[in-house]
Structure 1
Amino acid sequence: MTLEVRVIRTLQDPEKIKKVGEFFQINTENSINFIWYWTEQTLFKWDFWLSWCFAIVPWILWLRYRNKQNNGRLLLAGFLAIIIASWLDFTGVNIGLWYYTGLAIPTIPDYVPWDFCMIPVLIMFMLQISPQTSAYLKALMFALISAFIGEPLFLWIGFYKMLHWNLLYSIPLYFLLFILCHKVSRIRFE
């Protein structure tokens, strides 16, 4: 029994498929090289453990001090924060605005503890504390804390390297992220 391989004709231009494949090949080779480097230089070293602390501790604090009555709405807002923050971070890394060292997970170029843990947990805490306080004031506080305390801390540790970015550029992004999460947290499910 022989296996016949049939080439399927596509609607896409074959030259385009070939060119995109070349880009993906370069990306794959870079990823494999980075994973080997990460395994030798980061895995189980101080920066690996610190990154995992940044990933786990916020969620432990959240479980301990969350408002259980609004758990679902707050988690929905936190999930939105994860999606938006990680997408923006991934985009910034991929277009060369910044990069990270000490990654907790080598196959994800953005900083998982920041995008998946610290940002959403801080937003959820700020949403549940003093709910009568202006969302815009809280958004400004969140933006300033994230841009002028969080990011400089990661710059100082050496986990974050800005290439074509300025801390001031982060303020409107953090502000809008908080406002969107605030709006989602106010959704009433009946």
Structure 2
Amino acid sequence: MNRLIDEKKIKQTDKFFDRIHDIQMEYLDYWKESTLWHWDFWLSLILVILPWVIWFIFRKRGSEGRLLLAGFVSLIIASWLDFIGVVFGLWHYSGKVVPTIPTFFPWDFSLIPVTMMLWLQFRPTANPLLKGMVYAAITSFIGEPLFEWIGLYTPERWSSFYSFPIYTFIYLIAYWFTRMKSFEKLC
């Protein structure tokens, strides 16, 4: 097949892929031996399931669609930023439920979206910037240090102070999605 990208470039990227694959397989072996079925695995698994159970119980009936959209948007943004942070060596995780990307499943796919949805439905008429800053303060200055203390999160070249504006921004984006007026029935 004639490719648009030259073969030399493809062969070079193949070498990078092979190195990444080898390291991932090595990490999988380590994970099976040192994490799977250990206390940190179980804690992470609980942190994946329990927030969703709590949300299901305390969700605002009739607003589930808007809240889930906002939660999904926050999940996407948080996962993408988390991936970038790990790739650039700003932080890393241990005690993972799954030894793959996303980097820390409980944080990106459960804790962030669920706490975001619960926070959005609490006092919905309050100033969104103020609410976003309170959410960011709790997440940055309580959540991150707690996970660091437990040993699930290790910041390398990162400070909770850097996280604060990011969590505020994520909250404001999620808030905007809950206020969209374009929700109509499909039929």
- Structure 2-normalised TM-score? 0.96
**1:88 aligned onto 2:69:** no
Match of 1:73, SS? helix
| Cα root mean square deviation, aligned | 0.8
Q: Tell me the equivalent position of 2:108.
A: 115
Larger Rg: 1
* Alpha-carbon contact 1:58-1:121 (below 8 Å) kept: yes
- CA distance in 2 between counterparts of 1:134 and 1:16 reads 52
**1:171 aligned onto 2:164:** yes
- Structure 1-normalised TM-score? 0.94
Match of 1:68, SS? coil
* Alpha-carbon contact 1:100-1:109 (below 8 Å) kept: no
1:94-133 map, 5 Å: 94-133=87-126
- CA distance in 2 between counterparts of 1:144 and 1:16 reads 45
Q: Tell me the equivalent position of 1:186.
A: 179
Q: How many percent of aligned residue pairs carry the same amino acid?
A: 46
Corresponding pairs, count? 183
- CA distance in 1 between counterparts of 2:159 and 2:9 reads 36
Question: Which has the larger displacement, 173-182 or 9-18?
Answer: 9-18
Shift of 1:19: 0.8
Alignment CA distance shift 1:56-1:75 (3 Å): same
**1:142 aligned onto 2:139:** no
Letter in 1 for 2:106: P
Shift of 1:26: 0.4
Q: Tell me the equivalent position of 2:60.
A: 67
Q: Which runs of 4+ in 1 moved over 6 A?
A: none
- CA distance in 2 between counterparts of 1:27 and 1:60 reads 36
